Chain A
C-alpha cells in the first residue's frame, strides 16, 4: 500500500518568516494530495489540495508544489502568523473506484513565535 513520510515533525519559525513542510509518497499511482491543518482539540480542516496533473497551486499565503517524478510534494506558508500554529498533515490518495483512499503523513507541529 501507499506510504507517506512527512518532515520535519516539528518546525519553529518567527512570525513573518516562511515555513516549508515536505512529504514523500511511495505509490506512483497516487493522484490527489491534500493538506490538512489541525488545531489542538479540533478536527482536521483542508487548507489546500493538488492533483497530479498540476505542478503547483497557490492560495494567498499558502502554496503546494508537486514533483511526480521524485514522488514528493511540499507545503509552503509565507509571512507566517501566530494563528498558523497547528499540526499540519499531508496525505496521498490512491485511486479506488474513484474514491479517496487517503494515507496520511505523521504530521508536522508548526509553532510561529510572535
Chain B
C-alpha cells in the first residue's frame, strides 16, 4: 500500500500560470480532502469529496477547482496562480468517520 501519493513535491509558478496538483490513494477511501498550510500556520480546508462525482467547497476555495472522476484520484487545479497561493498543499483521505491519512505534500511558490 502506497497510501496517499501527491505529485509534484515542489513547483515554482509564475503569476497567472495554471497547474494541477495530483493526488491518488490506494486505500479505497470514499472521502478525500485538499488542505493548504501557510508557513507557520495550521491547515485550512480547500475542497473535499465524499465520493466519485461529488465535491464541495471548504473554508478557502477561491482560486481552486477540483474533480473526482474516480475513487482513487482527486486532482486540485489552480487556474490563474497568484502569490497568495504560495503554500504547502496536502491531500488526505479517510474511511467513514476514521482518521485522515495525509500525502507528503506539494510545496508551491508563485512568483
Q: Are B97 and A46 in contact (CB under 8 A)?
A: no
- The interface residues of chain B lying within 8 Å CB-to-CB of A97 are 50
Q: Say how far A95's CB is from chain B's closest CB, in angstroms.
A: 8
Known contacts A43-B90, A44-B102, A99-B31; A32/B97 CB under 8 A: yes
Across the interface, which residues of A come within 8 angstroms of B43, CB to CB? 44, 89, 104
Interface size on B, residues (CB 8 A): 22
Q: Is the CB of A106 within 8 A of B42?
A: yes
Contact between chains at B99 and A46 (CB < 8 Å): yes
Complex contact A99–B42 (CB within 8 A): no
Contact partner of A100 (CB less than 8 A), chosen from B41, B44, B97, is: B97
Residues of B within 8 A of A43 (CB): 90, 102-105
CB nearest neighbor in A for B103: A43
Query: Do A101 and B42 touch (CB < 8 A)?
Result: no
* Tally of A-B Cβ pairs under 8 angstroms: 51
CB-CB nearest in chain A for B35: A104
Chain A window 89-112, contacts with chain B (Cβ cutoff 8 Å), 1 for yes, 0 for no: 100000101111111111100000
In the complex the two chains form, what is the Cα distance from A46 to B103 in whole Å?
Answer: 13
CB distance from B25 to the nearest CB of A (A): 13
Residue B100 lies at the interface, judged by CB distance under 8 Å to chain A:
yes
Given contacts A34-B99, A43-B90, A49-B99, contact A102 B104 (CB under 8 A): no
Closest CB pairs A-B (n = 6):
A43-B102, A104-B42, A104-B43, A106-B42, A98-B96, A99-B31
Beyond A6-B42, A104-B44, 20 extra complex contacts between A and B, CB < 8 Å: A1-B59, A34-B100, A42-B104, A43-B90, A43-B103, A44-B90, A44-B102, A46-B99, A49-B99, A89-B43, A95-B97, A98-B97, A99-B30, A99-B48, A99-B96, A100-B94, A100-B100, A102-B100, A103-B45, A107-B40
